[in-house]
Amino acid sequence: GDSVTQMEGPVTLSEEAFLTINCTYTATGYPSLFWYVQYPGEGLQLLLKATKADDKGSNKGFEATYRKETTSFHLEKGSVQVSDSAVYFCALRDKIIFGKGTRLHILP
Amino acid sequence: DVKVTQSSRYLVKRTGEKVFLECVQDMDHENMFWYRQDPGLGLRLIYFSYDVKMKEKGDIPEGYSVSREKKERFSLILESASTNQTSMYLCASSPGSSTNEKLFFGSGTQLSVL
């Protein structure tokens, strides 16, 4: 069946470090892919999305490219901030499947 | 902005109680969803609804039921609460059936069953 696998957390980085959170998926067809972010005490909110192969989603300095050949949608940011500390979820939309989430801690 | 409101932020119930979790959205969305969020397990879909009075089982429906009598309201019911239902419950909605649409989430209800 369809599934999403993302890297285990927590991930701890220093401010201004480069971030990559890996996400791979298994699905029939070509589902839309999403990254959601959950800040402490809040529900999830959409960070970015891509709807077809080679699309790049971007928002707030984060980027992710829909790679059909590697079935991946890795999240990247060139220089993280303390305010980026949150839990990040990769998701595919056909059957509304989420990864297990990756908790990110940014140290000042 | 779309607002998805969950009636309680924290709830404490006893084993065997019948529990109602309420969710209301204010943007006339067709689709509504209930998830539970547990450490190390991420979000798991309990039930969803694509229309009034319509419901579909998600991945983990056992021990739960839902009600959608009006378009804006989607209730999750724990018929007889058990300790393994202690969790964070998240409600979400989306406008229609397109797979490109994002989900809008409520802030969650942290349920503790003692």
* Whether pLDDT at A1 is above 80: no
A46 touches B at CB < 8 Å: yes
Q: Are B73 and B4 in contact (CB under 8 A)?
A: no
What pLDDT is attached to residue B100? Answer: 66
Which residues does A4 contact at the CB level (< 8 Å), separation at least 6?
A23, A24, A25, A26, A90, A91, A92, A97, A98, A99
User: In chain A, which residues have their Cβ closer than 8 Å to the Cβ of B107?
Assistant: 41-43
pLDDT (tens digit per residue) in A22-80: 999 998 888 899 999 999 888 899 999 999 999 999 999 999 999 999 999 999 999 99
- What digits encode the pLDDT tens for the residues B52-107? 888 999 889 999 999 999 999 999 999 999 999 999 999 999 887 666 678 899 99
- Which residues from chain A sit within 8 angstroms of residue B35, using beta carbons? 98
Give the model's pLDDT for residue B97: 66
Cross-chain CB nearest to B90 (options A31, A34, A43)? A43
pLDDT of A93 strictly over 90: no
At position B17, the amino acid (one-letter code) is E
Higher pLDDT, B101 or A17: A17
Minimum distance, in Å, between the CA of residue A94 and any CA atom of chain B: 6
